[in-house]
């Protein structure tokens, strides 16, 4: 009996050892559960690969928890405030002026983020992806060591109850998807009190009376728009000659005009060179292009001067993974120069957008599986800024197309000539399309106005299908809709617009 018991115990021990060993071995391990990471993990599992994802703070990453989603919830609150304030214009009489409840607004934003955070955990579980909770470091090109996560001090839903803990894990393929964090400039180091990054800007303890924003990319402009809608005095300082430097110059100029009309002060071709922190404010020295200095005092300063990749502490240097300007160098399917190591999303370079990261994750995993894939065409990745007015674009700007020596035809159609826009009370805006004059191919589209972040996908699909002006002109757009302006813009590029007079037609 003893002999049988001993053999049975040994068998149980061996079985448990094999179970633990197999539980730490994967086909694919993804480091980082942001949009790129969790989508890559789900796609890998769909393809039958044993997959795990390592996360140290938030399922869904910065985008879902502190970026794309909660900021849009805040901007929606600002939009509702604007609509209610303008209710009388639509024949709706309210008892009095709307009252701002900042606490409720912030709580709603966090609730939306937390709901989606839980949703990511549910998706990973249902697809059979293991979650490993902690901070990962590469131990060769096929292994990682996971340590307990560092405390961030921010709201954190924590790991799902099924999450695996610290330990050593192996995989034939390791995908780095660690994302990026706010860039810090000397003298503008955030302290969480007088100088904020987007983390603090989304959870202000109270509404500041005045705000200085350094940087006018999408993050800076969205916060400028949000806080101005809430009644704050907002000043934006941009180093480059114009705001929204990645956008078409004509669209950026219209955006500036609209922001300034709403009361946002904008200084372009200028930089913050010094900041003095007071008891409850900051005083910034702003240097203009001509060397003139100006002193600006505000209660808070938001530093929105870009982001940097999270490459530190991963063990990349020890493996010889190639870096360039603080980012991982990867090819069109995510492969680095070290076999078995891949990189996707912000940490692999721009454009630093969640939807770009997601598609890179899918392409990378499908390449690992041996499927026929094509590298992501970055010219066909749309960009959106969710300010008021919204800005959206895809493809070449007019200036960039001409700089490449292309002959172009440019179509423009204004919101004020669209029936649905007038019915909505959204008469300010423009749809601009750029075609190759020789082939007629749509090579760029740029929009400003209501709901253009939804409209832009029509042009993205058209570019993906290599549509020409004839394809767009022959497309039937429903009436009355904002989307009709897309077809009219294509018509305008070829002198055929139907709902603007001949003098309003523009081609170049």
3-state helix, strand, coil in the chain (%, to 5): 35, 25, 40
Q: Are residues 257 and 213 in the same domain?
A: yes
Query: Which neighbouring-strand residues pair with 9?
Result: none
Question: Are 301 and 317 members of one domain?
Answer: no
How many independent structural domains does the chain possess?
A: 3
Q: Do 364 and 404 sit in the same domain of this protein?
A: no
Q: Which CATH number covers residue 455?
A: 3.30.390.30
Compute φ and ψ for 225, nearest 5 degrees.
-65, -45
Q: Are residues 298 and 315 in the same domain?
A: no
- 419 and 344: one domain? no
Domain membership of residue 75 (yes or no) is no
Residue 72 lies in a domain: no
Give yes or no for residue 193 having a pLDDT over 80: yes
- Does 11 have pLDDT greater than 90? no
Among the candidates 345, 378, 411, a domain finishes at 378
Q: Quick one: 264 and 322 in the same domain?
A: no
Full residue range of the structural domain in which residue 170 is found: 27-65+105-181+308-378
Q: Residues 154, 156, 36, 340: is their CA dihedral positive or negative?
A: positive
Q: Which residue has the higher pLDDT, 65 or 421?
A: 421
Contact 286, 294 (CB under 8 A): yes
* pLDDT above 60: residue 253: yes
Contact 395, 248 (CB under 8 A): no
**264 in any annotated domain:** yes
The answer to whether 232 and 196 have CB atoms below 8 angstroms apart is: no
Angle, helices 452-464/484-493, rounded to nearest 10 degrees = 50
Residues 294 and 323 in one domain: no
- Please check whether residues 153 and 272 belong to one and the same domain: no
pLDDT bucket at 159, cuts 50 / 70 / 90? confident
Number of H helices, E strands in the chain: 15, 24
Q: What Cα–Cα distance (Å) separates residue 334 from each residue in 33, 63, 138, 172, 437?
A: 16, 20, 17, 15, 35
DSSP string across 376-437: --GGG--EEE-SSSEEEEEE--HHHHHHTT--EEEEEEEGGG-HHHHHHT----EEEEEEET
In angstroms, the CA 113 to CA 388 distance is 22
Per-residue pLDDT for 108 more than 80? yes
Distance from chain centroid for Cα 347? 13
Predicted local confidence at residue 188, as pLDDT:
85
Tokens of 473: 């002109």
Contact present, 110 and 118 (Cβ < 8 Å)? no
pTM: 0.91
- Residue 448 placed within a domain: yes
Q: CATH code at 229?
A: 3.50.50.60
Domain boundary among 284, 305, 326: 305
Residue 11 lies in a domain: no
- 8 A C-beta contact, residue 137 and residue 144: yes
Residue 405 has pLDDT above 90, yes or no: yes
Q: Domain for residue 162, yes or no? A: yes
Residues 496 and 472 in one domain: yes
3-state SS, residue 447 = strand
416/500 same-domain check: yes
- 288, 446, 479, 499: the active-site residue: 479
Tokens of 348: 């692999």
Burial (CB count <10 Å: 0-12, 13-18, 19+), residue 361: buried
Residue 112 burial (CB count, 10 A):
17
Distance CA 415, CA 413 (A): 7
Mean pLDDT of 95-101: 88
By CB atoms closer than 10 A (0-12, 13-18, 19+), residue 226 is buried
* Residues 320, 371 within the same domain: yes
* pLDDT tops 80 at residue 12: no
Catalytic annotation present for 479: yes
d(C-alpha 113, C-alpha 104), whole Å: 14
In the predicted structure, residue 470 carries a pLDDT above the cut 90: yes
pLDDT score recorded for residue 311: 97
Q: Which of 241, 276, 305 is the last residue of a domain?
A: 305
pLDDT band of 187, cuts 50, 70, 90: confident
pLDDT of 154 reads 65
Q: Is 308 helix (H, G, I), strand (E, B) or coil?
A: strand
| 284 and 347 share one domain | no
Which pair of tokens denotes residue 10? Answer: 């040994």
pLDDT at 14 over 70: no
> How many residues are recorded in the chain?
508
**Per-residue confidence at 23, pLDDT binned at 50, 70, 90?**
low
Give pLDDT, residue 153.
58
Residues of the chain above pLDDT 70, percent? 93
Average pLDDT, the chain: 92
Give domain status of residue 424, yes or no: yes
Burial of 7 (0-12, 13-18, 19+ CB in 10 A): exposed
Helix (H) or strand (E) holding 19: helix 2-23
Residues in Cβ contact with 450 at an 8 Å cutoff, skipping those fewer than 6 apart: 389, 390, 415, 421, 424, 426, 429, 482
* pLDDT at site 229: 96
Q: Are strands 167-176 and 25-31 parallel, antiparallel or unpaired?
A: parallel
């Amino acid at each position: 009996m003893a002999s049988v018991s001993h053999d049975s115990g040994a068998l149980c021990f061996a079985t448990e050892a094999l179970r633990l060993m197999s539980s730490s071995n994967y086909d694919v391990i993804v480091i980082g559960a942001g949009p790129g990471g969790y989508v890559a993990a789900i796609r890998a599992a769909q393809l039958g690969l044993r997959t795990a994802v390592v996360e140290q703070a938030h399922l869904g990453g910065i985008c879902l928890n502190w970026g794309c989603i909660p900021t849009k919830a805040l901007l929606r609150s600002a939009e509702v405030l604007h609509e209610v304030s303008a209710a009388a214009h639509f024949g709706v009489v309210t008892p009095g002026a709307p009252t701002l409840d900042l606490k409720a607004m912030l709580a709603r934003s966090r609730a939306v983020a937390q709901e989606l955070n839980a949703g990511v955990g549910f998706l990973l579980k249902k697809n059979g992806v293991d979650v490993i909770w902690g901070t990962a470091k590469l131990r060769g090109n096929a292994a990682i060591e996971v340590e307990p996560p560092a405390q961030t001090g921010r709201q954190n839903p924590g790991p799902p109850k099924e999450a695996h803990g610290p330990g050593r894990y192996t995989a034939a393929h390791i995908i780095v998807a660690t994302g990026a964090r706010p860039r810090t400039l000397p003298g503008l180091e955030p302290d969480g009190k007088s100088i904020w990054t987007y983390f603090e800007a989304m959870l202000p303890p109270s509404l500041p009376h005045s705000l200085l924003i350094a940087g006018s990319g999408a993050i800076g402009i969205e916060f400028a728009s949000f806080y101005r809608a809430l009644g704050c005095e907002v000043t934006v300082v941009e180093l480059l000659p114009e705001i929204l430097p990645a956008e078409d110059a004509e669209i950026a100029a219209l955006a500036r005009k609209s922001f300034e009309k709403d009361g946002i002060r904008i200084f372009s071709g200028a930089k913050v060179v010094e900041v003095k922190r007071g008891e409850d404010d900051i005083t910034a020295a702003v240097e203009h292009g001509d060397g003139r200095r100006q002193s600006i005092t505000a209660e808070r300063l938001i530093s929105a001067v870009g982001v940097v990749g999270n490459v530190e502490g991963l063990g990349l240097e020890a493996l010889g993974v190639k870096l360039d300007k603080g980012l991982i160098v990867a090819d069109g399917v995510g492969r680095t120069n070290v076999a078995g190591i891949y990189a996707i999303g912000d940490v692999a370079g721009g454009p630093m957008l969640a939807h770009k990261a997601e598609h890179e994750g899918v392409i990378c995993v499908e390449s690992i599986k041996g499927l026929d894939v094509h590298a992501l065409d970055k010219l066909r990745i749309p960009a959106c800024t969710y300010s008021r007015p919204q800005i959206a674009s895809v493809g070449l700007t007019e200036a960039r197309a001409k700089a490449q020596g292309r002959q172009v035809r440019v179509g423009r159609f204004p919101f004020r000539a669209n029936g649905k826009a007038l019915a909505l009370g959204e008469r300010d805006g423009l749809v601009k399309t750029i075609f190759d004059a020789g082939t007629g191919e749509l090579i760029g589209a740029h929009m400003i106005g209501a709901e253009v972040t939804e409209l832009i996908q029509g042009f993205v699909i058209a570019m993906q299908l290599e549509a020409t002006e004839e394809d767009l002109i022959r497309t039937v757009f429903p009436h009355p809709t904002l989307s009709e302006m897309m077809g009219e813009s294509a018509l305008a590029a070829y002198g055929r617009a139907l709902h603007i007079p001949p003098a309003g037609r523009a081609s170049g």
